[in-house]
A and B are shown apart, each in its own frame.
Chain A
Amino acid sequence: MSDGKILALLGGPASGKSTYLGALADALEDGRLAQLELVGLPGDARALEHLTEPLLDGHYPQRTKAGQRLDIDAHLRAHPAPNSAAAPVDVQLRVGDYDGEEVERLFRDRARGWSDEWRARASADGLLLFLRPRAIRPLVRTGGGDQLSEAERWQYLAGVLDTQTARPTPGRPPSIEDSPEAAFGPGELLDEEIPAPPPARPGQPVHIPTVLAVIELLQFMRHARGLAPGERPAPGTMRVAILVAAWDAASEWHKRGASVYVGETMPLLVDYLWSNFHERDVLCFGLSSTGGDLNDPDYRARYLDDGARGYATWRAGTSNVERSTDLSVPLRWALFGDPALVAQDPARP
């Protein structure tokens, strides 16, 4: 068996870590994941039971209690891609679920909390970063090319300009003096970049970021690995999968994808990841561990009758949004990279 790979799950309170682990463990035990197999149960399987039992009854797993640890230590066999000629890889998966408030406590109380467990997570081969929007922000409707100049914004403040009817001032054409990309076009790498949010109109609200604690945690972890600020680790050595949980509730964003959602609602996090990781080592997934809201009695009834309907979506390059019912896709992408991305992978009966 090869050396165990470590994956770290990060996320604040109620960000969906426990539900995802429960749905994944349930699928592993059922053998429903085509590319990931559970070879052997851990000696102490209570952690798995704690996460999977509620789902079997159509309920969400209980939130991890304060100070509690749920460590899943499982022997898996992973296939990077279906029909791949490469031999399957034995993986010792060690995933620790923790109380999400711990991130907030560590952020506030700097004197204690940066424990050996956190330092161990810092050496993970991949990070799964769970984000659950506290409120799904509506899609911003803007006209095409509506970047107002500073003079026009002052006019708006003075009550002179009506931004609904104002026509934007065309900017000067880009030149090579600005940047090579301005003259020669974006090039291949930019196809995978999380897009920037559109320019805000003068009357639009200023959003106060809510991801500072997560960014600080990532800074601590990089510091523990000896990475300087702005230093990108070697490609493939530290992938970051951003999982936007409860994606089923964000139907308005489905067509544009999770990367656009993250780019428009968490631009500070996007900038931080762009500055400190290779673009190919960061990928956004829309994740629905259960396929719908188990608190909705109608959906719960369908869930219990028809079985699991969880899915993950992503956008690879500039193509359409891809989707798979294989919940292990984000996990296998964190381990193997793009070869693990296979759309519409049918689940085993």
Chain B
Amino acid sequence: MSLPPAIEPLRCTNPDCLLPEGGACARAAEFDDPTLECPLLARQDGLAQDLSQLQEALRERLNDTEDKPPLPNTDAAPWSGRHLDEHTTEQLLWRSPARVIAVMGPHNAGKTSYLASLFLQLSNRQCRQLPYRFASSQSLFGMHEILDKIRAWDQSADRGTAAEEPVGQREIIAHTPKQSGLLHFMHLGLRPAAHSDNRHIDVLLSDVAGEYFTEHASRENPEMQAFLARCDGFLIVADTGKLVGKRGRQHDAEIARIIRRVTDLTKQAPARKRAVALCLCKYDLVVDQDHLPPAPEQRAERTAWGPVGDRARKIWTALDQLRPAMPVRIFPVSAFPRRPSGGQPVGVDAPLAYLMQHLDARTPWPRPVQPVPEGCSSFLAMRRWSDQP
């Protein structure tokens, strides 16, 4: 990632940064050379990193010392409630070690529908595989807007279809515009369901236009690569209906190239622990009594997936190259097999539960092993069984 040179003497808006004082960058773990890569350092193109610097820069540009910028709005809500932009994301990353998950896939693969369905399942406490409960969100209003569209779609009476009718390939949620930018996240605050665990975990799920991934798959985009380098997990969304359809080979190649871009990251930072979940979304379009998804222990085998596996050769080849570098699992998902009033989704929480298992892995303290003397009696002898694996 190429950024303008840093202004000397160094100035950084991160209060924990010691770089201006000759110490270490607060985000040294993320960058090989913070003076070249950290976006928080003030840089020579004149763009300020905080409000006061921006105001000063604006004044200079206007060449009018009496032209004061407007006072901050004291009546405004603490946050916008929409998808997090770059500035809000950076603030949140300062506050906590958030888990950043890139939701990747081409246009109309089902990324936003998946996120909406996931939120609905979490809202209704139906995420049985996810051992967390909802604790907070700074993008509730953004989610509210998406749910309003889903509600309107569900209640529309002119479609002539019953609620139990399959949704098929109909577009449920409008396409995420490319103008929303690359750093466009949905925020979820989760709390472990176990009472003994008192943590609050921020999870950022990207909701980015599919064109970005398609373009990056064809030609490496440094901005996209820098974004992916900061992610802890990858949720790759493939359209199963398209995979078995007329453009299946193209879709297979597209997804495979996206997977390979993720594999490239492991070469840059091989020690960093990440995980990948491949979601075969819209799986309801292919499922029937002869083509049920394979059991979890068989899902790594392409041949276990029947006609879906037959059309996904490039994807499996790319996954085989990715597997040595990071854990991968494949999930069949149906975010909206019916309209919401007609039935439940299937498999929506499993990919996130798998990623969180890796992103929130905690190594338990090793149990101390105390030898039990031979020939001992009573209580000491009873301990012997617990030492066995």
Contacts and interface: CB of A to CB of B under 8 A. Distances in A.
A299 interface: no
A300 interface: no
Contacts of A158: 287-289, 291-292
Interface of B: 73, 75-81, 95, 120-126, 128, 131, 133-137, 140-141, 143-144, 147, 150-151, 154, 163-164, 189, 191, 193-196, 199-200, 202, 283-284, 287-289, 291-293, 295, 332, 334, 337, 340-347, 350
A231 B284 contact: no
Given A209-B123, A272-B135, A231 B200 contact: yes
A276 B332 CA distance: 34
A340 B196 CA distance: 29
Given A187-B195, A209-B123, A216-B140, 8 more contacts: A113-B75, A154-B283, A181-B196, A200-B126, A205-B342, A206-B120, A268-B122, A272-B136
B346 A112 contact: no
B110 to A, nearest CB: 16
Contacts of B288: 158-159
Given A107-B141, A230-B189, A154 B133 contact: no
A111 B76 contact: yes
Given A157-B284, A157-B287, A275-B136, A208 B120 contact: yes
B87 to A, nearest CB: 15
Nearest to B141: A107
A196 B125 contact: yes
A276 B73 contact: no
Contacts of B199: 230
A203 B77 contact: no
B146 to A, nearest CB: 10
Contact of A154 (B125, B194, B287): B287
B195 A189 contact: yes
A143 B77 CA distance: 45
A219 B136 contact: yes
Interface string A212-230: 1101100110011000111
Contacts of B144: 107, 212-213
Interface residues of A, number: 58
B76 A114 contact: yes
Given A112-B75, A275-B134, A151 B340 contact: no
Most B C-beta atoms less than 10 A away, residue of A181, A190, A219, A270: A219
Contacts of A114: 75-78
B347 A202 contact: no
A220 B78 contact: yes
Nearest to A213: B144
A165 interface: no
Contact of A179 (B81, B120, B194, B283): B194
Interface string A119-160: 000000000000000000000000000010011011101111
A209 B343 CA distance: 16
Most buried by A among B199, B200, B291: B200
A220 B346 contact: no
A154 B350 CA distance: 14
A288 to B, nearest CB: 27
Interface string A78-115: 00000000000000000000000000001110111111
A258 to B, nearest CB: 17
A200 B344 contact: yes
Contacts, number: 174
Contact of B124 (A201, A202, A267): A267
A346 B254 CA distance: 73
Contacts of A180: 194, 196
Contacts of B337: 157
A197 B81 contact: no
7 contacts: A153-B347, A158-B288, A201-B344, A206-B121, A207-B340, A212-B140, A230-B189
Nearest to B197: A179
Nearest to B79: A110
Shortest Cβ-Cβ A-B pairs, 5 listed: A230-B200, A275-B135, A229-B136, A206-B340, A110-B77
Contact of A229 (B151, B189, B334): B189
B135 A271 contact: yes
A275 B191 contact: yes
A253 interface: no
B134 A271 contact: yes
A231 B135 CA distance: 10
Contacts of A270: 125
A334 to B, nearest CB: 23
A274 B200 contact: no
Contacts of A168: none
A147 B128 contact: yes
A268 B136 contact: no
Contacts of B125: 196-197, 267-268, 270-271
B132 to A, nearest CB: 9
Contacts of B120: 206-209
B193 to A, nearest CB: 8
